Structures are given as C-alpha cells and as structure tokens.
Structure 1
Amino acid sequence: MREGDPKFVWVRDKNKTVMKAEILKCREQEGAVEHYIHLVGKDKRFDRWIPERCIGGYCSGERKPRASGHRTRRYTQCLKEDNGISGIVDPAALELEEAHRERTKIKNIEDVVLGRYRMDCWYFSPYPEEVCGKRLYVCGRCLGYMKQEESYAEHVAACVQECPGRTVYRKDGVTVREVSGAGSKTFCQRLCLFGKLFLDHKVTFFDVESFVFYVLYEGDGGTEQIAGFFSKEREKGNVYNLSCIVVLPPYQRKGYGRFLISLSYELSRAEGIRGTPERPLSDLGLLTYRKFWAQEVLSVLCTENGPRTIEGIAKQTGIYEEDVFDTLEWLHLFRLCRDRKTLLLSADKVSEASGRFLPTKGCLFDRAFLIRSPEESGSCQ
C-alpha cells in the first residue's frame, strides 16, 4: 500500500453481512490484486486475503486501539520487572511489544494439513521462512513440518516415531499423554509452533524445558490424532495450573476444552492447591473457562447441603476464590447475607442458571480413569 491510499473498506462476510475492514497489506497473485484485511471489531483469526473485487467501497474510520488486557506474557513480565516502580512502563518494553505486533499482524501460513484435516490458520507462528506460504504440511506423529506435499507423503510413510511421554488418561477413544518439555524438547517445540497457529498471545516456543504438556489424542488402535493440548509450568505448588490451551478447529464443540480444563484442576487438587489459568485469556478461552467455572459452581450450589460461602465453594471445587467471585457475578447470583460471607441465593435463579450451564453432552472428564503413576500407565517418559 502507498501512503495516502484508503485503508478502510466495506466487505461482505460469508453470510453476506456488510462489515467494515482495515486493509493491512496488498499483494499481486497471478496477475490479480489481493488485500489482507482485518474486520473491525473482530478477532485477528478472521483476518484474511481477499480479491479486490470483493471490496464494496471505501469508507472512513479509525481502528479501535488494542484492549489493554491483551498483553503478551513477555510484555507482562517486562512490566513486573520495570525497576519495581508501579505505573511506569519501560519504553523499550513498549517498543518490543509494538515490534511484535507489527511482525505478527499478517499470517505467514494460510492453511495447514495435519493427518486427514486441512485447517485454516488463525494467527502468525514463527516457523522458518522457507516453509511459510500458502500451505504447511505437519506430521501427526512427530509434528515435523514441510512445505511440499510430496515430501510430506514420503515422510508420513516412513515416520515411525511413537507418541512421547506417558499415558495419564484413557477412556472411550480419548487418550492424554504427559510430555516433559525437558525430556522431549524437539516434540514440544514443534507442538508450540503448531499451537501458535491457533493462539494469538503465546510467545514461548523454544524455552520449553520448564513446562509440562498434556496432549489429547482422539482415536484407538494406531489411529490416534492430536486433538488439542495444554501446558503448565513444572514448578510444584504454582497457583497457575494452565499456561495455554488449544483445541484444534476440527475437534471443537466436542467438549475437549472443558475436558482439558477439568484435568488441569484435577492435577491442582492432587497438589493440594486451588488453581487458576495464566492471563490473558483469548476470547474463546475466556468463554470456555466461564462455562466451566459456572458448571462447577452451580453443581455445588445445587447440592442440598453444599457450602454457601465463596471460601467453601473454592475449597470444594479447587477453583481460585477470585474466579468463584467473578463467576457468581457473571451468573448474577452474587448477593451476601448480613454476615457478609454467606451467599443469599434464589432457588429459582440457581435452577434457571443450572439449566443453561450444566454439561449435557460432549466429552466429560472422569477422574476414575486418571492414571496417576508411571506403573499404572504401562509406558515411560
């Protein structure tokens, strides 16, 4: 784009709804001009290349600034280390954050093939430049990546790598394996690179030794396919029980997000702590967590003799007290008795909320099938 060219245009989405978009970049493909657009008010995962003929006209308007809560983990750490002075931000940190946004605002891979699925990529991921472009092929066993379909077919036919780590859960065609970032460094680095295609804020790719990954596979008898994963820091007693979570697009709406979150809280209970995820949460992550927290809190409130204080609910569910408080407010159930501790609940409101949020379908976590020791799993690191 040249300076002075119009940046905001009208476009139609798949439902033929007219929306305002910002042109971020232009290119010429096979003699035709294409524009990379960001739909104003929408998440970056909807950014895409469109042909010039799809532009309905130019318009005026300013792009809304990025919400202050959307900070990368590295940027948050910079704020914490800023000489210990609250409210003062290191200019170098701001410059680093802006450079990161500029470098990652355009997706470097349009779609990816993993096993039997082809998926549109949502975000930028720092794969080597030589494999970036229209399509990336990723091996479902070792997560090795390549640009050419022929090389991919040859690799898949020859790859004999087994799933790393040890099995910690298996039931009804769902298997979860615990993989150490220190013990399976290459696999975990590739997993992070692949996950970044569907995560906006994750910035750890190569420093994986301090993390443990829980990888969810769907299928049985040699047909297992990676469906999602979450990571957490190895440090025992850490209140953060989840660093990032990904459920791949073909496996969404099956309850796997709720399943992985349930597993993260079960691991926290085993350590005797109340857990909470690292922030920021993506829009989809926040929605999944809110539903999970609502389900857990409501299951307690629907119990006749269950606790009726925030402290009691947190203790029984293993959910951080602040998250319990936020959930009750989100459900419009937060009202205290005169003792300022006990919840004043309306049975009708609790019943109505339960009907909306208690899980009725999808993959549910069953702690009876959690394999807590290497001896039980029958496999090794």
Structure 2
Amino acid sequence: MTLKLRENNQNFVHYKCMCPASNQEELCRLTKERETEKGYQYFVQFIELNGRCDGWFEEKLIHNLTYDEKQEAEEKIRRFSERQIEYRTINYLYFAGQKIEIWYDVPLPHEYQNEEVFCCEYCLNYMSNRRAYDSHMKKCTVRAPPGNEIYRDENIIFFEVDGQSQKRYCRNISFLARMFLQHKTLHVDVDIFMFYIMYVKINGSYHMIGYFSKEKQMVTTIQSSNILSCILTVPCYQSKGYGMIQIDMAYLLASRDNLIGSPEKPLSDLGRMAFHRYWKYRIFEYFTQHEQNSISIQDIVQYTNFTAEDIKNCLFEERIIFPRKSSDIVCYISEEKMEEFLKQAERVETKAIRLQEKYLHYYPDVFVQREFKTEIDNIGVFIKNLKW
C-alpha cells in the first residue's frame, strides 16, 4: 500500500491503525512521515483515544477505511480535524535508571529535542545524550530538592519547594510533568506555585516518585480552594499507590490550612480515577465510623475536607445515592457494597496510602477562616432495609 500522505504532504484521517493500547484497529489521522531502515513510518493520532496512544507506526499497521467506515466516521472525523496537531519530537526519557516512553510533546529547549532525553532524578537537570548523563551522575552530589522537608516517616519524605525562589528546579519538574500530562503549561509561571516533592525509600535508598503543585493561597476567608493544580507520578512508579499518597498529602495540607478543597479541573483521565478512588475510600471510611440515623454532606465535608460537589458526584457515580422529592438525598448501601469496600480497604492499608499527621511539620503562613453553608443536604443512610 502506498499512502497518499507521501504524495501531497497533507493530513489524512481516512485511515485505521492497529493500536497496542486497545489491541484493535482504531480510526486515526496521519500527520507526519519519516523513512527508516525498515521502511516508512507515520505519526498517528488516534481520534477516539487519549493522546498518549499517539506515536510512530510502521506502514504495514495502517489501512484505508472502506466507504461504509468513512460514512460512519464522518462526524468524528470532522470534529477531530478541528483539533490542533501536536507532534512529539522526544520519544523516550531516561530517568532513575529506567527508559520511559514519553506520552506527549514537551517544549524543552531546542538542544534537547532529540529522540531521547536524559534527566537526573535528584537535581532534575536535563542532558541530551548518554555520555553527558553518565558524566553528570558521577559528579552530582544533590540528594534532596532545594526546599523544606515537611514530612518524614519510615519510608516517605515530602519536600516543599517555592516556585519563586527555585525557578529552575520547578520549571524542570514541570517539564517532566508535561511529558505525561496533556495541556499543562505550568513551566511558564512557576513563581505563583508551591511544589510538593515525594521521595520513597526503595531498596534502602530514596527516589523521587512524583510531585504535586498548588497555587499559593493569598486570601484569609474562603469557602473552597484548589488543593492542587497538577499531580504526577512518574510512570515507572505508577500502580503502586503513590498517587493516592500524594492526594492524601494534599488533603492533609488542606486540613492544616483549614481549607475545603478540590483538585483543579479538568483532571486527566488517570487523575480523575485516582481522585475517585480516594474520595470513595474516605467517604466509606466515614460511613463505617459514624453509624447514625442521619448524616449530612456537611458532616462528610468536615471529616474529609472534600467539597460537597465532589462528595455528591462520587456517590452518584457509585450508584449509592438517590434524590427524593424532598430536599433529602437517600443513600442505599447494600451489604455487598460494604463488603466490597472492606476488602478494598484491606488492600489500601497494605499499600499504606494514608499518611500520619504526627509526622507532618507544616504550618500555614495564612490562617483561613472556614465558613460552612447551613443548607447542605442531609443523607439518610440505609444498608439494605435497615436504617442506621
């Protein structure tokens, strides 16, 4: 097959390509081509999948759409054609001894725009080649971020870094996040953010696992606030519960700041799933510890520091709260649902997603006077037909 892209250098979306993520052919657009020793490759953007699935694919994996497939996909193609084309020039990151595939384009300076980029996990300086990286790692004496240690237990440390006083470090960690988070431009204005860097002891030594950032709080009276603006767990450390630990730290800081908070929207798909799991765990934790006839959302807000909107959305998604004609919201929790939660809670405890406040050495510069609204709905809680 000879693809038309080579003939007139235009973007085409009348193609389908075998996608490893879904293990099936997906509708796609071809935006760029290159010639390799094995033949032509094309940069594929999938229309219905997350951008991290995009990448270079061999010509043999790409096929034309049939006439019927084109007709069926016409509206999807039209909407997708209006999206901005984004090319990924850097494909791999070497970090902490791991070769990690980059998901999205990152605006690193021109000298780093190669197939691979190298990053020191301690000082977060970037190198453009292996030789420079190996030389740097032999000489680098940095072992901690340029900030204050605010939390330390047996295995976990958190550092607080001010984006205004440590611009280079914070810009570099923001570039790291941009490799795996779409539509993040935090590297432009790091001075208005605080960064919270997470280190974990692995095989006797500490490693940078990820971070979250939040905008500096400048007011003294507030109803709710963004508890974080950006959160990243480096892909080689994902699926180990570390993202949940960072979320727990964000809410621990919110509690110390006397804030009710929510993450900045929109969340990435992975971020939304992580927050939903965390919200569900803490809300069910409250239910198991407070067996009473009437529970208000305000009670859960005070216990968790979640916003009322996040609590409602989480319970609606779990299909365990239902509105009635009155102003009350009734929450039906089956015994099976509670058993499922308790089993999940056991797994959560083994991953130690909860931090202990006694190890937190953080004191807010600005005291926030929290004010609760009085008209927050009550929840009547039922397990099967037995009311608490």
TM-score calculated relative to the size of structure 1: 0.81
Aligned to 1:8: 14
Residue 302 in 1 paired to residue 288 in 2? yes
1:196 to 178, 201, 209: 178
CA contact (8 A) 2:193 2:216 kept: yes
Paired AA for residue 217 in structure 1: Y
In the aligned structure 1, how far is the partner of 2:311 from the partner of 2:118?
A: 42
CA contact (8 A) 1:6 1:58 kept: no
SS of the aligned residue for 1:260 comes to helix
Residues 140-162 of structure 1: per-residue CA shift (max 9 Å, x gap): 12111111110111111111234
How much does 1:331 deviate? 1.2
In the aligned structure 1, how far is the partner of 2:55 from the partner of 2:110?
A: 19
Question: How many residue pairs are counted as aligned between the two chains?
Answer: 342
Residue 45 in 1 paired to residue 52 in 2? yes
SS of the aligned residue for 2:196 comes to strand
How much does 1:244 deviate? 0.6
Residue 123 in 1 paired to residue 104 in 2? yes
In the aligned structure 2, how far is the partner of 1:231 from the partner of 1:252?
A: 18
Aligned to 1:335: 322
Residue 150 in 1 paired to residue 131 in 2? yes
Aligned to 1:55: 62
- Name structure 1 gaps, 5 residues minimum: 69-97, 375-381
* Aligned-residue CA RMSD (Å): 2.8
Aligned to 1:233: 215
2:156 to 167, 174, 177: 174
CA contact (8 A) 1:10 1:55 kept: yes
In the aligned structure 2, how far is the partner of 1:303 from the partner of 1:140?
A: 41
Q: Larger C-alpha radius of gyration, 1 or 2? A: 2
Aligned to 1:354: 341
Aligned to 1:79: none
Residue 270 in 1 paired to residue 256 in 2? yes
Aligned to 2:377: none
1:251 to 222, 237, 249: 237
Q: Which moved more, 1:48-57 or 1:283-292?
A: 48-57
Paired AA for residue 199 in structure 1: L
In the aligned structure 2, how far is the partner of 1:158 from the partner of 1:221?
A: 22
SS of the aligned residue for 2:232 comes to strand
Structure-2 change in CA distance of 1:265 and 1:5 (3 Å): closer
Q: Which moved more, 1:164-173 or 1:184-193?
A: 164-173
Residue 313 in 1 paired to residue 300 in 2? yes
How much does 1:227 deviate? 1.0
Paired AA for residue 210 in structure 1: I
CA contact (8 A) 2:147 2:159 kept: yes
Paired AA for residue 360 in structure 2: I
Residue 287 in 1 paired to residue 287 in 2? no
In the aligned structure 1, how far is the partner of 2:153 from the partner of 2:197?
A: 14
2:88 to 107, 110, 129: 107
CA contact (8 A) 1:167 1:371 kept: no
How much does 1:337 deviate? 6.5
How much does 1:272 deviate? 1.2
In the aligned structure 2, how far is the partner of 1:67 from the partner of 1:279?
A: 23
Paired AA for residue 108 in structure 1: T
TM-score calculated relative to the size of structure 2: 0.80
CA contact (8 A) 1:111 1:134 kept: yes
In the aligned structure 1, how far is the partner of 2:361 from the partner of 2:159?
A: 12
Paired AA for residue 24 in structure 2: T
SS of the aligned residue for 2:157 comes to strand
Aligned to 1:215: 197
How much does 1:67 deviate? 9.5
Structure-2 change in CA distance of 1:117 and 1:160 (3 Å): same
